[in-house]
Structure 1
Amino acid sequence: MLSYLVAGNPARPLIILVHGVEDCAISWADYIDHLKSRYLVVSIDHKGHGFSPRFTDQELEDPFEASFSAFVDAVQFIEKTFGKKAIFVGHSMGGALVTKLAARYPELVAGAVVEDPAWLSKTYRQNYVTNIPTALSQLESWQDPMVAYSWGRKRRPWWPGDTMIGWVFGKLRVDSGLIGTGVVSFKENWQDLMQEITVPLVVVSSDQESDIVGKSGLAQTDALANRNVETVFIPGCEHTLRRNKPQEFNRLIDPYLMKWATAEENRS
């Protein structure tokens, strides 16, 4: 079973937060603070992250499917425990997990936001594999938390301190076996999964080099003309949009969360 954190009001609608690779449940600390007065918030440690179980050698042969299977089990358990259908916010690899969940298990999803999800082209997928030695070397250096914190502070000085501490903890607790595979997303073509979506899903991205979806991916998403899928563009943000422009992110995304939460309350 995956580890998870719980905050907020048990009487309110449920939001599940779904982190990216090398992050962890506590890396959402600032966003949990933003949500907890209005929602019941659950933040998950994915397989091989935080306090969740490590990957077995067999699972590392197909790590995303192992992650997805564990994620589905955790969502089913959480929803049964609290008696609520969840709204999801997922970033990067977490966005890929949420995308596949919405496509394959729509009965579990009241609505979802995917923040620059890891919808990878063949080139992008190969880049992750090519970068494995560098990623492992960097991760090894980050096992000294002060080295990781100093690197993060220099790279992203605008991040809140609690967010940076969560980011560092993620680096200390990630399974290096996963990083050694270079796998952070599903095998399916993301456009095919988009065609399967029958629940409300919002895709958020920006226009910087580190963004995976970017303006072109948002345009491709719009061109698929799935009426259940909307796109949101926030200019000038790197891959971690919510951490770059939190006020703008919240201004644009809060109305979706509120709409889906109200719909769930009216159904209950």
Structure 2
Amino acid sequence: MPFFARSHELTLFYTVHGDPTKPPFLLIHGWCCDSTDWVFTIPALVQEYFVITFDHRGHGHSSAPETTTYTVQDMVADAAALLKHLSIPKDVLVMGHSMGGIVASALTCLHPELFRALVVLDPPYWRSTAFWADMLPQWDEMQNGLMFVTKAFGDQLSPSVPAWMLTWIGMRALATSELAVSASLKETFGPDMLGQMEVHQKLVKGRTIPKLAFYMREENAELERSLGVGQLDQIVRVDDAGHWFHHVKADEFNALLRGWLATI
């Protein structure tokens, strides 16, 4: 089985798809999800890329020891260690959805030698330090992921989201370690953490690799543009599909992704 040991207690589940001589493409899922998020995307990439996925610590089939921490830096270190385990030293493309978008963005800054392009899907790094100081303590009262993210980020769904997808998202969230659910929030968006807008903006300042960003809301797309738009960068708004637009509009998303990849 494709498990990679990070320590005696922590093991990460990962999968690889395609020809290992092709350009490597690392896909990183979001909070309370797992690497099956990419089943709609992998078939569109596997002919041209060596596609790698993994389950974050505490998510999916990866382990969740009680001593584990869940900072973005932890998840960045997991991803970098996996690439080293696979003997992939450079020229990696990386794509992340939601919390995975924060991780992917941080990866390209903390390990710039590894990466040649970045794709982010609706990353939630657009809330301020002051916002999170008020919002995070509410988690302890709510203990409800959908209620919390709706209050923090707005409605993540749309009328076009099919019932099967809501069931799938809900079942995976229920299967996620309670420690991972809570700690991932607090250690991503807590004081001085990389999910806070000001901290993220400081981290990515000066980054030059090509970037493709997808957003469900125009205000977040505009904030992404405020970071700077390079010659090969592209920022796309996907309408009427919610936060999981790479599922709901998979064919449209895959066509836009492949089109941009051809330009770089």
Q: Same fold (TM over 0.5)?
A: yes
Report what 1:242 is aligned to.
246
Q: Secondary structure at the match of 2:61?
A: coil
Give 1:52 shift. Answer: 1.9
1:112 counterpart (118, 124, 129): 118
* 1:87 maps to 2:93: yes
Report what 1:143 is aligned to.
none
2:160, 2:240 within 8 Å by CA — same for their partners in 1?
A: no
Report what 2:3 is aligned to.
none
Q: Structure 2 unaligned runs (5+)?
A: 1-5, 7-11, 147-156
CA gap of 1:137–1:48, structure 2 versus 1, over 3 A, is: same
Give 1:129 shift. Answer: 4.3
2:119, 2:212 within 8 Å by CA — same for their partners in 1?
A: yes
Matches within 5 A, 1:1-268: 1=6, 2-57=12-67, 59-60=68-69, 63-78=71-86, 80=87, 82=88, 85-122=91-128, 123=131, 126-135=134-143, 156-157=161-162, 165=168, 167=169, 170-181=172-183, 182-183=185-186, 184-185=188-189, 186=194, 187=196, 189-207=199-217, 215-227=218-230, 229-260=233-264
CA gap of 1:108–1:55, structure 2 versus 1, over 3 A, is: farther
Give 1:128 shift. Answer: 4.9
Q: Structure 1 unaligned runs (5+)?
A: 139-151, 208-214, 261-268
TM-score by length of 1: 0.74
Give 1:111 shift. Answer: 0.7
Q: Secondary structure at the match of 2:102?
A: helix
Give 1:132 shift. Answer: 4.4
What is the distance in 2 between the residues matched to 1:137 and 1:102? 28
1:103, 1:196 within 8 Å by CA — same for their partners in 2?
A: no
Letter in 1 for 2:252: E
Give 1:130 shift. Answer: 1.6
What is the distance in 2 between the residues matched to 1:251 and 1:124? 36
Bigger helix fraction: 1
Give 1:10 shift. Answer: 2.3
> CA-atom RMSD, angstroms?
3.1
1:8, 1:37 within 8 Å by CA — same for their partners in 2?
A: yes
1:197, 1:229 within 8 Å by CA — same for their partners in 2?
A: no
Letter in 2 for 1:6: V
How far does the alpha carbon of each residue in 1:189-219 deviate from its partner, in whole angstroms, 9 at most, with x for none? 2322332322112211023xxxxxxx12221
CA gap of 1:197–1:126, structure 2 versus 1, over 3 A, is: farther
Give 1:49 shift. Answer: 1.1
What is the distance in 2 between the residues matched to 1:93 and 1:172? 17
Aligned length: 233
Letter in 1 for 2:161: R
What is the distance in 2 between the residues matched to 1:125 and 1:8? 44
CA gap of 1:238–1:14, structure 2 versus 1, over 3 A, is: same
What is the distance in 2 between the residues matched to 1:113 and 1:106? 14
